[in-house]
Amino acid sequence: MANHILESINGACHLTVPILYTRGLTIGYETKQTNLKLEENLSIEIRNGELVCLIGPNGCGKSTLMRTIAGLQNQ
C-alpha cells in the first residue's frame, strides 16, 4: 500500500496519496535468443500537482513502460 505523506500548506496539514503508484515493476521481452529486461524493480510514486518527465534514448522502454502502467501491455 502506498505511503501517505503529510504536506503543510499555509500551516495546515493535508494527507496526500499518490495518483500513480508502482512498486517492484519489471518489464521485459522474451525472444528465442534472449530475455531482455527493459526496467527491473521499478518503483514510482506521483502525487497530484507533480510534473513528471520520462526521457531516454530510442528503444530504452519509455513507451513500453507507459503502455504497461496504462494496462495496455502485459509485464
Domain extents in the chain: 22-75
Report if pTM > 0.75: no
The Cα angle at residue 64 between residues 60 and 69, in degrees rounded to 5: 130
Per-residue pLDDT of the chain (75 residues), as tens digits, is 445 556 555 655 566 788 898 899 888 877 788 877 777 888 999 988 889 999 999 988 889 889 988 988 876
The strand pair at 12-16 and 18-30 is best described as unpaired
